[in-house]
Amino acid sequence: MREGPRRSPRAGVAATGAALLIGLAGCGSSATGKPAEQGVPDGPPVVIHDSSDGPEFAGSEVEPPLPLPRARLISDDGSRFDLATDLDRPVSVFFFGYTNCPDVCPLVMADLTLAVARMPVRLRDQVRVVFVTSDPARDDPATLRRYLSRFDPDFTGLTGDPATIVDLAGAMGIAIEKGPRLPSGGYEVGHGSQLLGYVGGDGVLVWSEGMPVDDLTDDLVRLAADAQPVG
């Protein structure tokens, strides 16, 4: 069994503030808050906390940790990818986005790429970045591979059945909403813009869009240094 990070005594302290994790990013248009065309599964809200005596991490800690959902998807190399068995590094960072996203996704991915690049090599190798498409109709494995290669060839892209992806996102507290068609004939996809940090099977951190790169790097270094290697 994979073990989580060694938790600080400050982790889990009563919160001074809390916010729902579920939310939408416009990706070229403002989110409507209307029922999603693709759908968002019903379920209890995920609450993120900031400790009363100062945060242990720059990101928001999830209490209790969010269990890693079970899902079988398709990797950007065309092979099957099972979240339960194929996450081969102790720390995983998930982002739900799509390759046709005109604004939010490239910014988040650029910041994440820079944050990972700034990590010491020995710790960088402990982190798996996973980009799950919120637009599987257009993002096939080859499209994902071309897209991620612009950022970091080591990043992993996942696509698959739309219902499976919506269920996975909902279990991780991320909303996905298919938006209206554009004059060009395409469409936008509203989706949560958070980064989700998992250690083994536990989702322990959430980073909001716009998190300073240095803070994101520091958090990833901490998680990677404390996590137990897989195997």
| 181-214 residue pLDDT tens | 554 445 555 556 799 999 999 999 999 988 999 9
Give a yes or no: residue 21 inside a domain: yes
Residue 3 covered by a domain: no
Q: Report if residue 9 sits inside a domain.
A: no
Residue-wise pLDDT tens digits, 53-101: 445 899 999 989 999 999 999 999 999 999 999 999 999 999 999 998 8
Residue 212 is assigned to a structural domain of this protein: yes
10: in domain: no
Whichever domain contains 62, its CATH number is 3.40.30.10
Q: What is the pLDDT of residues 94-129, one digit of tens each?
A: 999 999 888 889 999 999 999 999 999 999 999 999
**Most confident stretch, 45-59, 114-128, 160-174:** 114-128
- Of 164, 210, 190, give the one whose Cα is nearest residue 33: 190
- Residue 177: how many CB atoms within 10 A of its CB? 24
